[in-house]
Structure 1
Amino acid sequence: MSDSTKDGSKPPLMDKEKEEKKLLDNWTNSFKSLFSGATDEEIALKEHKRCEKWKKSLIKNNSLIEFMLENLKKSGCEFDVEKHFKCVPCDFKRSGGFSPELGIILCQNRFSSKRHLQDTLTHEMIHAFDQCTTKVNFNNCEQHACAEIRAINLSGECKFLTEVKRGNFGFASHHQKCVKRRALITLKDLDCCKGENVAEDALLHVWKSCFNDKAPFDEIY
Structure 2
Amino acid sequence: MGGDGRVYTVTSAKGGVGKSTTAANLGAMFGASNRETVVVDADLATPALTSHLDCSSSPSLHDVLAGETEVDEALVEHVGFDVLPGTPGAAAFAGVDIARLRPVVGTLRERYDVVVVDGGPGLSHDTVVPMQLADRVLLATTPDEASVEAAATTAEVAERVDARVEGCVVVKVTDRDQLDDVRRRLDAPIAAAVPRDDAVPRSQDLGKPVVVAAPSAPAAKAYWALAGRRPETD
Give the TM interval when normalised to the shorter protein.
Answer: under 0.3
Please give the TM-score of this superposition, normalised by the length of structure 2. 0.26
| Larger helix fraction of residues | 1
Counting strand residues as a fraction of each chain, which structure ranks higher?
A: 2
TM-score, with length taken from structure 1: 0.28
Question: Structure with the greater relative contact order (CA < 8 A, sep ≥ 6): 1 or 2?
Answer: 2
- Which structure: larger Rg? 1
